[in-house]
Structure 1
C-alpha cells in the first residue's frame, strides 16, 4: 500500500506542478482573456463529468472486491465499457450542439467574437468526451491496485497534453490550435490506458470496444452506480455553481481571477487524494472480509496525517496569498486582483480535502445515501445563495457561500460517517484532534511567520523559499504537538505494528 500511496503522491504532485508551470505560460503566450476562456472550458468539463453516472467508481469498487470471481469482473468491465461508450457519445454531442448557445447567450466576452468561442467549444467537446472515457479506464486500474501504472499514464498525459502544448503556442499562439492539441493528446492516451487495463484484466489487448450490455450486471450495480450518479449531479451543482453564476453575472476576467485562486487551492486536494485513493481498495477489502476494526484503525491513523498536512498548507496559503500568486504568475496586477479570493477558497478546499477519507470509507461500504441527503439539502442554500451573493458582492460573495456550505456539510458528513462506520468519540477524536487543533496550531504558526519582515524584498525566489520554510515549520510543529513518535511511525507505515 505504501508503494501505491507514493505513486499517487507523485501523480498528484505532477498535476500540481504542471499547474504552476504551465498556467503562467498560457497567460503569457495566449493572454489573460484566452486563459479566461480556458477556465470556462474547464467549467464545462466539470459539469459534464456528471455523465460518468458513477460507472468509474462502480468499476473500481467491483475490481477491488474479494468476494467475486475474476470472470465476474471481466463481465462487469465489458458491460460497463459498452455503457460508457454511450456516455462518451452523449457528452460530445451535448457540448457540440450547445456551443453556439453558450458562446452567444451565456458568457460575457471582451476580446473574442462569439463565433470564435463556439468553434473552440466544438473542438473541446471531443476532448471532454474522451476525458470521461479516460477516467473510466483509470478507475479500473485503480480498482486493480495498479496505482503506479495509473499515475504513469496520468503523468504522460499531462506532459503531452498540458506541457508540450506550450511549445506549440509559442509559434502558433492561437486558442483553436491549443484546444486541438489537447484533444488529440487525450484521445491518444485514452486508447493507451484502455489497452493497458485489458492486458492486466484479461491478459490480452484489443483495439475494439465492447458493445454487449448484460442487463443482469447493470441491475446488480445500479443501486451503487445510481447513488454515485446522484452524488455527481449534486456535487456538480455544489462545486461548479459558483463559477457558473460568476460567468453569467460577471465578466470572464472575473472568472479568470477566481480560477487562479482556485487553481492554487487545488494543492489541498492533491495532498489528500493520493492517500484516500490508495486506501479505497484497502477499505473495500477489509470491510468485505468483516475486518471493521482494522479498517477503522487505518482510517483514524491516516486521517490525522491528512488533517495536519492540509491545514499546514492552507494556513500559509492564506497568510501569503498575494506573494504566492505573484511568485506563480510574475504579475503583480493579477496578484492584487486574485489575492482576496485565496484565503476563503483555500479554507473551502481544505474542508473538501478532509472529507475525502470518510467519503472513501462510505464508498467502500456502498453507502451513498448520506452524500445525496446532504447534497440536496445544501442546494437549498447554494442555488439562491450564489445568485444573491454574486449579484451584490461579486466573486467574493460566491466564494463566501462556497466556503460556508463546505464547512457545514463536512462537519455533518464526518459526524454521521463516524457514527455508522468508525465509532470513535466524535468530539475528542474527530472534531478536536483532526479539525480544531490542527487548524489553530497551523494558523498561529503561519500568522507569526507572515509577520516576520523579509530580508530581501521583491524577489520571487527568496519569497518562495521563505514560504516553503514557513510551511515546513508549520507542519513540523503541528506533528510535534499532535502526534507521538509511536503514532508517527504508524502513520508512515499505515498499519498497526
Structure 2
C-alpha cells in the first residue's frame, strides 16, 4: 500500500508544483484578466463534473471488490464506459449550446468581446468533456491497484497540458492558443489511458465495441445514484461561492479568490493520495467482513492525514504573505489575496479531514450521510454567500465556506464513526487524532514564524525557509503524536 501512497504523493505533488510554477507564468504572459477567464472556466469544469454521475467512483469500487469475478468486471467496465461516453458527449454539446448565453450574460471583461469569450467556451468544451472520460479511466486503474501507472499518466498529462503550453504562449500569448493546446493534450492522454486500461481488463489491445448491460446498471444504480446526488450537492457547495462572486463582483475578484483556492487545494495533494491508496483496502476488508482490520486501518491513516493537514495548514496561515510573495512575485496580488487565504485554507483543511471517513463510507456503498449534510448545508451557503459577498465581498464568502466546513466535518466524523468504525469518539478520534496534532503543529509553526527572516526580499530564499519550517513542523508533530512502533515501522517501509 505504501508504494501506492508514494506514487500518489508524487502524482499529487506535481499538481502543487504546477500551481506554484505555472499559474504565475499564465498571469505574466496572458495577463490577469485572461487568468480570470481561466478561473471562470474552472467553475464550468466543476459544474460539468456533476455529469460524472458517480460512474468513476463506481468503477473504482467495483474493480476493487474481491467478490467480483473477471467476467463481471468486464461487463461492468464495458457498460459504465458506454454510459460515460454518452455523458461526455452531452457535456460538450451542453457547453457549446449555452456558450453564447454565458458569454453575453455572465462574463464581463474589458479585453475580450462576448463572441471571443463564447469561442473560448466552445474550444474548452473538448477539454472539460474529455477530462471526465480521462478521470474515469484513471479511476479504473486506481481500483485495479495500478496506481503507479495512473500517476505516471497523470504527471505526463499535466506536463503536456499545463507545462509545455508555457513555451507556446510565450510566442503566441492568446487564450485561443492556450485552450486549443490544453484540449489537444487531454484528448491524447484520454486515449492513451483507455488503451492501457483496456489491455488490463480485456487482456488485449484497445476495444471500441461498446454495449450497455441492464443488469449491471441495476446492480450499481443505488451506489451510482447516491454518488450522483453527492456530485450535485458538492457542485453547489464547492462552486456556489465562485459563481456568486463572478456575478456580484468583478471577474478580477474571482481571479484573486481562485488564487487562494488553488493554493489551498494543494492540501488535496496531501490527503488525496492516502485516501486513494486506502480505498481498495477498505473495500476489500468490508466486503470480506474484516471489521477489525478496517478499524485499525482507519485509525492509522486518519492520524497520518491529521498530522499532514495541520502541518501544511499552520504554515500557510503563519507564512501567508511570504508564501504569496514567493509564489507570485506580485505585491498587488499579495495585498488582495493574503486576507482571504488563511480562511479558505482552513476550510479546505477541514474538508480534508473528511477524506478517510469518506473512503469508509464509499467502501460500504453508503452515500446517504453525504447527501443529507450536503443538502442541509445548501440552506446556509445559498443565502450566506449572497449576503456575505454583497456586504463583505470575497472575504465574506470565505468565512461562510469555513463555517459550513467546520460544522460538516465534526458531524460527518461522528456519524461515520457511529455506523462503521465504533471507536471512542471523544478520546481516540476528536482528541488524539484531531486536537493534539492541531495544537502541536500550530505551536511549532507559530514559533518558527517568529524567527526573523533576514533575506525576506528574496523569493527563492523565502520559499526555501517556508519549506524548511514546514518540514520541521511535520517532523516535530510526527515524533510527538505517532506511536514509537509506528515511526519505526514507517521508516522500515512495511505495511
TM bucket normalised to smaller: over 0.9
Which secondary structure does the structure 1 equivalent of 2:216 belong to? Answer: helix
Which secondary structure does the structure 1 equivalent of 2:212 belong to? Answer: coil
State how far apart, in whole Å, the 2-side matches of 1:436 and 1:220 are. 41
State how far apart, in whole Å, the 1-side matches of 2:253 and 2:110 are. 12
Q: Map 1:170-181; keep pairs closer than 5 Å.
A: 170-181=170-181
Is the CA contact 1:34–1:175 (under 8 Å) kept in the aligned structure 2?
A: yes
Is the CA contact 2:479–2:487 (under 8 Å) kept in the aligned structure 1?
A: no
Summarize the Cα distance change of 1:72–1:207 in structure 2 as closer, same or farther, 3 Å threshold.
Answer: closer
Is the CA contact 1:258–1:395 (under 8 Å) kept in the aligned structure 2?
A: yes
1:84 is aligned to 2:61: no
State how far apart, in whole Å, the 2-side matches of 1:3 and 1:477 are. 24
1:18 alignment partner in structure 2: 18
Which secondary structure does the structure 2 equivalent of 1:233 belong to? Answer: helix
Which secondary structure does the structure 1 equivalent of 2:299 belong to? Answer: helix
Q: Map 1:334-349; keep pairs closer than 5 Å.
A: 334-349=333-348
Is the CA contact 1:199–1:205 (under 8 Å) kept in the aligned structure 2?
A: yes
2:155 alignment partner in structure 1: 155
Summarize the Cα distance change of 1:59–1:19 in structure 2 as closer, same or farther, 3 Å threshold.
Answer: same
State how far apart, in whole Å, the 1-side matches of 2:259 and 2:7 are. 27
State how far apart, in whole Å, the 2-side matches of 1:129 and 1:239 are. 19
1:185 is aligned to 2:185: yes
Q: Map 1:277-316; keep pairs closer than 5 Å.
A: 277-316=276-315
2:472 alignment partner in structure 1: 473
Which secondary structure does the structure 2 equivalent of 1:107 belong to? Answer: coil
State how far apart, in whole Å, the 1-side matches of 2:118 and 2:490 are. 50
Which secondary structure does the structure 2 equivalent of 1:455 belong to? Answer: coil
Q: TM-score, with normalisation over the residues of structure 2? A: 0.98
Which secondary structure does the structure 1 equivalent of 2:205 belong to? Answer: coil
CA-CA distance at 1:21 after TM superposition: 1.1
Which secondary structure does the structure 2 equivalent of 1:136 belong to? Answer: helix
CA-CA distance at 1:494 after TM superposition: 8.6
CA-CA distance at 1:332 after TM superposition: 1.3
Out of 383-392 and 445-454, give the one that drifted further. 445-454
1:248 alignment partner in structure 2: 247
Is the CA contact 1:141–1:197 (under 8 Å) kept in the aligned structure 2?
A: yes
CA-CA distance at 1:340 after TM superposition: 0.8
Q: Which ranges in structure 2 are unaligned for 5 or more consecutive residues? A: none
Is the CA contact 1:298–1:495 (under 8 Å) kept in the aligned structure 2?
A: no
Which secondary structure does the structure 2 equivalent of 1:295 belong to? Answer: helix
1:139 is aligned to 2:139: yes
Q: Map 1:72-111; keep pairs closer than 5 Å.
A: 72-111=72-111
Summarize the Cα distance change of 1:316–1:342 in structure 2 as closer, same or farther, 3 Å threshold.
Answer: same
1:318 alignment partner in structure 2: 317
2:379 alignment partner in structure 1: 380
Is the CA contact 1:107–1:251 (under 8 Å) kept in the aligned structure 2?
A: no
1:486 is aligned to 2:485: yes
Summarize the Cα distance change of 1:474–1:198 in structure 2 as closer, same or farther, 3 Å threshold.
Answer: same
State how far apart, in whole Å, the 1-side matches of 2:323 and 2:382 are. 31
2:454 alignment partner in structure 1: 455
1:125 alignment partner in structure 2: 125
Is the CA contact 1:302–1:494 (under 8 Å) kept in the aligned structure 2?
A: no
CA-CA distance at 1:385 after TM superposition: 0.6
1:203 alignment partner in structure 2: 203
Q: Which ranges in structure 1 are unaligned for 5 or more consecutive residues? A: none
2:431 alignment partner in structure 1: 432
State how far apart, in whole Å, the 1-side matches of 2:428 and 2:101 are. 51
Alignment RMSD, CA only? 1.3
2:390 alignment partner in structure 1: 391
Q: TM-score, with normalisation over the residues of structure 1? A: 0.98
CA-CA distance at 1:484 after TM superposition: 2.6
State how far apart, in whole Å, the 2-side matches of 1:5 and 1:239 are. 26
Out of 437-446 and 142-151, give the one that drifted further. 437-446
CA-CA distance at 1:487 after TM superposition: 2.5
State how far apart, in whole Å, the 1-side matches of 2:135 and 2:288 are. 28
Matched residue count: 495
Is the CA contact 2:322–2:456 (under 8 Å) kept in the aligned structure 1?
A: no
State how far apart, in whole Å, the 1-side matches of 2:182 and 2:113 are. 22
2:414 alignment partner in structure 1: 415
CA-CA distance at 1:492 after TM superposition: 6.0
Structure 1 runs of 4+ aligned residues shifted over 3 Å read 489-496
CA-CA distance at 1:209 after TM superposition: 4.6
CA-CA distance at 1:467 after TM superposition: 1.2
Which secondary structure does the structure 1 equivalent of 2:173 belong to? Answer: coil
Give per-residue Cα distances to partners, 1:384-412, cap 9 Å, x unaligned.
Answer: 11111111100010011111101110110
